[in-house]
Homo-oligomer: A and B are copies of this chain.
Amino acid sequence: MYGGIELGGTKIICAVGTGPAEVQAETRFPTTTPGEALTRMLAFFQPYRLAAIGIGSFGPISLHRDAPDYGSITTTPKPGWAHTDILGPIGRTLNVPVGFDTDVNAAALGEWRWGAGQGLNTFIYLTIGTGVGGGGISNGRLMHGLLHPEMGHIRLPRDQEIDPFVGLCPYHGDCLEGLASGPAMRARWGVSAESLPADHPAWQLEARYLALACVSFMCILSPQRIILGGGVMHQRHLFPLIQREVQTLLNGYIQAPTVLQDIDSYVVPPALGNQVGILGAFALAEQAALEQQALQQ
């Protein structure tokens, strides 16, 4: 049995289970202070005998295992949470191996284990909701490097005549997140994304920005698939718009049958739906348990 924590900036979900077929207990509560959150997380898991715990966390976080702050949230603007050690207190108190990664890398790992990323070596998971974030698997391992990906902050072309909205990223204005997140849609159109009808021009514009992002992913990483999740992607009519726009933008340059003829199996929704976050945390837990087993042998 694994424990999973989906540590978001606004809410926290904890669960125990083994995979999609078995999510035994679950609790959710708002992300208040680190002290209160840790107390509630530990109280939830204490009754269970767990093999490991996985944590998919909002970021930025420290992922270098030899860094003194490994397992911490680092420079977040969220009050009280900057430089908060998460992995340490949970691992010590519950005395189990802990897997720790970004929320989006956790989701990617969940899709790799049980969902739309199964059997792939290289793919990207992008979530479009309150913010825009991305993670993935490259050469069979979660994407880490200097830090971790921050895919929401790539810059995109914006035609000022078609879209005079200057974007709302506090750092970059009209980066991907600044142009295409749920709050950006609300700010641009004056109503929430969910309330816009499917034939509203908002969706074609949204599809254009997300397709431009997909094209950057494809040209830079050459992923075998792109999974698009998050609240905005609940609008399933976005998928065909994005798929067509990716083909238009590439203009035949990437000669792969899956892009040219089968793009609806290339740009896809998460197979795990709303469970992707917590199942990703289970997958991180499983990885941590396997790593500890390997070390003990």
Contacts and interface: CB of A to CB of B under 8 A. Distances in A.
Interface in A102-128: 121-122
A144 B222 contact: yes
A28 B216 CA distance: 35
Interface stretch (A41-49, A93-101, A154-162): A154-162
Interface in A190-226: 212, 215-224
A252 interface: yes
A215 B154 contact: yes
Nearest to A124: B220
A222 B145 contact: yes
Interface in A214-269: 215-224, 249-256, 258-259
A256 B148 CA distance: 11
A145 B224 contact: yes
In which size bucket is the chain A interface? 35 or more
Interface in A154-179: 154-158, 171-172, 174
Contacts of A250: 153, 171
A155 B249 contact: yes
Copies in the complex: 2
A141 interface: yes
Interface string A130-143: 00001000111101
A147 interface: yes
Nearest to A172: B251
Contacts of A149: 219-222
B154 A216 contact: yes
B222 A148 contact: yes
Nearest to A141: B139
11 contacts: A138-B138, A138-B221, A139-B144, A143-B221, A147-B255, A149-B222, A152-B219, A153-B250, A157-B157, A171-B250, A217-B220
Q: Which 10 A-B pairs have the closest CB atoms?
A: A145-B222, A122-B145, A138-B138, A139-B141, A139-B139, A171-B253, A75-B255, A154-B216, A154-B219, A157-B157
